[in-house]
Amino acid sequence: MMRQWYFIHTYSGHENKVVESLNARIRDLELNSLITEVKLPKEKVVERRGDKDYVSERMFYPGYVLVEIECDEKGKIPDNVFHAIKSTPKVTGFLGGKQPTPLSQEEVDQIDRNIEVTTEKPKPKFSYEVGEVVRIKSGPFASFTGKVEEVNEDKNTLKVSITIFGRSTPYELSFLEVEKVTFAEED
């Protein structure tokens, strides 16, 4: 017997309900020796509203839940487990269909590391790209708009080019000090 991790596909937005339903099925059908863990990988994200930072959770893989299954010697999922998972409400099936592909141990380790990293240091809710237009939300240049020149994902900072007295000036800001500008706002 060997334990393998699999992704199961769910209706988007119903991942938490699927985890609850799966755990209830595991208990009711006494499958806890065969389905050893159900995981919904989430990351902590931070966003600034006004002068306050708010931390929330966002799913790493929207529409997917991870399950660890005790497979036979050949790596095959037992039929009763396959059908119990597949018939869970809001589950559309396994990633890979009728022949699900297990995740490698490296993939599982990477998912665990990602969860650990964002738990310790939440990521900004929004990501930015070079060339995007942003509005500064606080500080001496609040309400100025500028173009993103550089993005530093490690430090969660941007170098934004703003025009002050007719001259373009680079200004370093954290992701939380700016907001994206939509095209309708620019006009």
What integer pLDDT is reported at residue 187 of this predicted model?
A: 45
What integer pLDDT is reported at residue 48 of this predicted model?
A: 65
What integer pLDDT is reported at residue 151 of this predicted model?
A: 87
What integer pLDDT is reported at residue 51 of this predicted model?
A: 65
Instruction: Name the band, by pLDDT with cuts 50, 70 and 90, for residue 183.
Output: low
Residue pLDDT, tens place only, 71-113: 988 888 999 999 999 999 999 999 888 889 899 999 999 888 8
Give the separation between CA 136 and CA 147, rounded to whole angstroms.
11
99 within 8 A of 146, measured Cβ to Cβ:
no
102 within 8 A of 5, measured Cβ to Cβ:
yes
Tell me the residue ranges of DSSP E strands in the chain: 2-10, 35-39, 42-49, 52-59, 64-71, 91-94, 123-124, 133-136, 145-152, 157-164, 167-174, 178-180
18 within 8 A of 88, measured Cβ to Cβ:
yes
Domains of the chain: 2-124 (3.30.70.940), 133-186 (2.30.30.30)
Give the separation between CA 70 and CA 81, rounded to whole angstroms.
9
Give the separation between CA 47 and CA 178, rounded to whole angstroms.
10
40 within 8 A of 22, measured Cβ to Cβ:
no
Instruction: Name the band, by pLDDT with cuts 50, 70 and 90, for residue 182.
Output: confident
Look up the pTM and report it. Answer: 0.65
161 within 8 A of 149, measured Cβ to Cβ:
yes
Residue pLDDT, tens place only, 40-70: 988 777 776 666 777 778 888 889 999 999 9
Instruction: Name the band, by pLDDT with cuts 50, 70 and 90, for residue 35.
Output: very high
Residue pLDDT, tens place only, 110-164: 888 887 877 776 666 677 888 989 988 877 788 888 999 998 877 778 899 998 8
What integer pLDDT is reported at residue 23 of this predicted model?
A: 95
Q: Over the chain, what is the mean pLDDT? A: 85
Strand order in the sheet with 157-164: 167-174, 157-164, 145-152, 133-136, 178-180
